[in-house]
Amino acid sequence: MNPQCARCGKIVYPTEKVSCLDKNWHKGCFHCEVCKMTLNMKNYKGYDKKPYCNAHYPKTSFTIVADTPENLRLRQQSELQSQIPKPGCVL
């Protein structure tokens, strides 16, 4: 039995099948989630099991590290070490 397309839900026959991101797609259904640009195995980027083009690939944002006592101590230690001249360096 042939699998269903992850985008349209219709049957995907072997001649038009793209297997990617643990899913099966029609070649025409394998497109960017945002701009609908048709993608292939060389130019897609997967995020959350969905295909994206390079321009619309979701950017991951980093969270701020909490100022725990250990992190404050490490930051102070790094600042102190950066102020100590290294041997052989002329200031």
Does residue 76 carry a pLDDT above 90?
no
Which whole number is the average pLDDT over 59-86?
Answer: 72
DSSP 72-88: HHHHHHHHHHHHSPPTT
Ordered structural domains, the chain, with CATH:
1-57 (2.10.110.10)
User: What does the DSSP 8-state code read for residue 70?
Assistant: H
Does residue 80 carry a pLDDT above 70?
yes
Q: What is the pTM of this model?
A: 0.63
Q: Which tens digits make up the pLDDT trace of 13-69?
A: 999 999 999 999 999 999 999 999 999 999 999 999 999 999 999 887 666 666 777
Residue 69 has a pLDDT of 77
